[in-house]
Amino acid sequence: MRAGLTLIALLLLAALPARSAEIIGALSQNRVSLTANFSGSEILIFGAIRHDAPRIEDAPSYDIIITIEGPRHPVSVWRKARTLGIWTNVEAVSMASVPSFYAVATTAPMNVILDPEEDARHRISAYHAIRPAQATGAVADIDSFTEALLRLRTREGAYLRLDRWVYLDRDVLFRANVALPTNLTEGAYTTRMYLVREGAVVHQYRTAIFVRKEGLERWLHQLAFDQPLIYGILALIIALVAGWGASAAFRYIRQ
């Protein structure tokens, strides 16, 4: 299988137009189906770097950064405080567009291979992907709410930082396996591959993974949004049947 992926990467590389250095990549699969027994999925991301000029022996080497960004949604972050012995929400920050999932895989720690200015310009790290400037709220320190959101999403497994996760072979071929969790949001997951040298982004390539519900899950999802009355009646009937069945089973056991 590895030999086949290498051949595909080299064929893609040959199709690139001439430039000083470029990156091109591919995915082992670009569609993920959410079904009742979905337990996560692993995506193989691979590709190659094209060098038009002859390789200089002492020249700085390249690094690769791969990001996978899930669909964006509005988020509110609350701060709790104790009032008269009761914990209550006292302050909140609203963010209009936050990734539901975000993974960053690199050939080396990002703070070593990428300048902070380049990170902010391309919005590569999870902090900049959240876009703290969009946050609104009557609070003194909005950054603390952004950091809190990052901690929560990282603890839940929705945000991943995978240092030294990308394998780069002789500054030409690269690959990385990224595991997608079970609680994926339906939509397009934008995948970006950055070619980095001496702290700067030299080139980037973009593709996407499409996640969607299939089978019974998709039918129920569409029914809930398209026919909410029918969905509610169906849910009520199922609840009544389940309650009656449990009651009948309990009476049978007592007898």
- What does the pLDDT look like over 179-206, one tens digit per residue? 988 888 888 999 999 999 999 999 999 9
Percent of the chain with pLDDT over 70: 81
Q: What is the pTM of this model?
A: 0.74
* Residue 90 domain flag: no
DSSP 39-86: --EEEEEEEEEEE-SPPPTTSPPPEEEEEEEPPEEEEEEEEEEEETTE
* Residue 143 domain flag: yes
Residues 228 and 193 occupy one common structural domain: no
- Read off the pLDDT band of 177 (50, 70, 90): very high
Query: What CATH code is carried by the domain that includes residue 24?
Result: 2.60.40.3880
Q: 210 or 242: whose pLDDT is higher?
A: 210
Q: Who contacts 162 (Cβ-Cβ below 8 Å, separation ≥6)?
A: 103, 104, 105, 106, 176, 178
- Cα-based angle 111, 112, 116 (whole degrees, multiple of 5): 45
Residues 136 and 60 occupy one common structural domain: yes
Residues 145 and 229 occupy one common structural domain: no
Residues 56 and 155 occupy one common structural domain: yes
Give the chain's domain count.
Answer: 2
Q: Name the residue range of residue 242's domain.
A: 219-254
Residues 150 and 245 occupy one common structural domain: no
The 10s digit of each residue's pLDDT in 124-169 is 999 999 988 888 877 777 788 888 889 999 999 999 999 999 999 8
Which element (helix H / strand E) includes 216? helix 216-226
First and final C-alpha spacing in the chain: 61
Query: Are residues 123 and 143 in contact, defined by beta-carbon separation less than 8 angstroms?
Result: no
* Residue 82 domain flag: no
Residues 241 and 185 occupy one common structural domain: no
Query: Are residues 122 and 146 in contact, defined by beta-carbon separation less than 8 angstroms?
Result: no
